[in-house]
Amino acid sequence: LVTGAAVAVAPRRRSDGTAGVAAAQPALNPQGLPASVIFPDDPAYAEARLTFNTRYSRYPAAIVVCSTASEIAKSIRWARRHEIEVRVRSGGHSYEAFSVADGALVIDLSGTAGVAVDAVRREAVVGAGTRLRDLSLALSAHGLAAPVGTCPGVGLGGLALGGGVGFLSRPHGLTCDNVVVIDAVDADGRLVRASEDENHDLFWALRGGGAGGFAVAVAFRLRLAAIGTVARCAIAWPLGDAAAVIDAWQRWAPSTDNRLTLGLAAPGGSGGVVSASGVFIGAEEGLYALLEPLLSAAPSASTQVWSAPWSAVVEELGGPPAAHAMFKNASAIAYEPLNEVAIGMLLDGLAAAPPGANLVGLFPLGGAVAAMEPDATAFPHRRALFDLQYQAYWSPGEDGAAQLAWVRSIRDAMRPFTHGAYANYADADLADWATAFYGGNLDRLRRVKTAWDPDNVFGGPQAIQPTRS
């Protein structure tokens, strides 16, 4: 709440560049901001400033929890008047905590959370701050689903703006492919509607352009699919068969029946198994038949196939919502199957992982993702076969530096065999992030940015920059 006696804080820098202890700064005048603003002297600030990835600790000037477009507009105008940077937060799950910055005004959209379902039209209007679990469960009550990611706490805002890959992408496309209207607030605080018919350039950019650099998305109208009971599978192979399994998987998973999406994960270190997790929009018998090319690659240690209602699958795949985590993930995109040398390097990289929780995940694209042209939306990787995610997690007191170094080294070692990266898997140390994320769509994104946000109000470490004339 507004206290009227706000004391803004600015962090002292640590040597690693992350924020440290807060230092007092002159008070900011809250006049013009919505009453839901949280300044540093508010008891709610300590929790509200936190980022999902606790590898970062940042001290914004204030956090304003917005429920409406008019509150967002007021917040943008206030920040511009006070020359304070703006950050936009939906679910706060940016890998690099880009939705919070030291000294910035964080426009937090959790107040917009909500799902209005039109079951007859198979559409829903969903607030940007809605978490994925809440969205999927609200839709499944109507026998419907939107193709979103699996993590329960991710916000629809960040996910849809960057693309949105999940177990329904191959049958139904990316999250952004199912967006039909976006209501947004622009850099001047105007409410704008973006669709095929209105502000088409902005609509194009907001579907895959990511990083919040164009406007604040307030609500999305989504196209929905009817999903009832689905078939699930979980398969494990001994680590010694990893090369054969990865090779068979990459030649099959992106091009098998679109109704089947099966991801693969290989652990770091020398223990554990190669595991596969799949969803098939169909019956168990059909799934068994489709799995044959993968199962014949190497004898599995276990193969489980079962059926479950979609709502149960959402809960099972998502697991319980986690409040926070400490991690580094980085991505790469494979347009060609990895050759023998590349698979060997991947496995060598995994074997060299430091002790702890680390893995490489492979997730198939193809299907409905590939049915659109690379320039149909800002997401460029339509012709890719799959994405790779190099992932490491640790707890306070564990050797995070070793995990960070491992992610960077395996990502760099695999670069010659991959092409680009996924914008939603923000990676702060990716020097060529703009080309990696947006490929041939980058120039058009720069033009849209220049038209909609010439003063770079919605800036940030990996926001598209406007071009200067």
Residue 220 or 295: the one with the smaller Cβ distance to ligand FAD is 220
User: Which residues from 400-459 bind ligand FAD, rule CB under 6 A?
Assistant: 424
Smallest gap from Cβ 125 to ligand FAD, in A, equals 14
- The Cα 282–Cα 182 span in angstroms is 32
Smallest gap from Cβ 403 to ligand FAD, in A, equals 16
Beta bridge partners of 445: none
- The Cα 341–Cα 223 span in angstroms is 42
Residue 57: Cβ within 10 Å count: 18
Smallest gap from Cβ 186 to ligand FAD, in A, equals 11
Task: Give the dihedral sign, CA 36/38/43/46.
Answer: positive
- The Cα 211–Cα 18 span in angstroms is 20
Residue 26: Cβ within 10 Å count: 7
SS3 category, 180: strand
Task: Give the dihedral sign, CA 14/19/22/27.
Answer: positive
- The Cα 210–Cα 382 span in angstroms is 16
Smallest gap from Cβ 121 to ligand FAD, in A, equals 23
Residue 2 or 326: the one with the smaller Cβ distance to ligand FAD is 326
CA atoms within 13 A on the CB side of 150: 17
Length of the chain counted residue by residue: 469
Which residue in the set 67, 99, 277, 403 belongs to the binding site for ligand FAD (CB under 6 A)? 99
Which residue in the set 30, 34, 60, 91 belongs to the binding site for ligand FAD (CB under 6 A)? 91
Residue 95 near ligand FAD by CB under 6 A:
yes
The residue among 140, 320, 292, 353 whose CA lies nearest residue 227 is: 140
Residue 52 or 237: the one with the smaller Cβ distance to ligand FAD is 52
- The Cα 208–Cα 212 span in angstroms is 10
Residue 93 or 259: the one with the smaller Cβ distance to ligand FAD is 93
- The Cα 206–Cα 215 span in angstroms is 8
SS3 category, 110: helix
Residue 298 or 463: the one with the smaller Cβ distance to ligand FAD is 463
Residue 217 near ligand FAD by CB under 6 A:
yes
User: Which residues from 23-52 bind ligand FAD, rule CB under 6 A?
Assistant: 52
User: Which residues from 143-182 bind ligand FAD, rule CB under 6 A?
Assistant: 149-151, 154-155, 157-159, 161-166
Looking at 54-62, 89-97, 252-260, 292-300, which segment touches ligand FAD (CB under 6 A)? 89-97
Give the interface size with ligand FAD as a residue count (CB under 6 A): 34
Which residue in the set 101, 126, 192, 216 belongs to the binding site for ligand FAD (CB under 6 A)? 216
Smallest gap from Cβ 211 to ligand FAD, in A, equals 5
- The Cα 22–Cα 73 span in angstroms is 28
Residue 161 or 224: the one with the smaller Cβ distance to ligand FAD is 161
- The Cα 10–Cα 5 span in angstroms is 16
Smallest gap from Cβ 161 to ligand FAD, in A, equals 6
User: Which residues from 103-142 bind ligand FAD, rule CB under 6 A?
Assistant: 109, 128
Residue 192 near ligand FAD by CB under 6 A:
no
DSSP class of residue 177 equals G
Binding interface with ligand FAD (CB under 6 A): 52, 87-95, 98-99, 109, 128, 149-151, 154-155, 157-159, 161-166, 211-212, 216-217, 424, 460
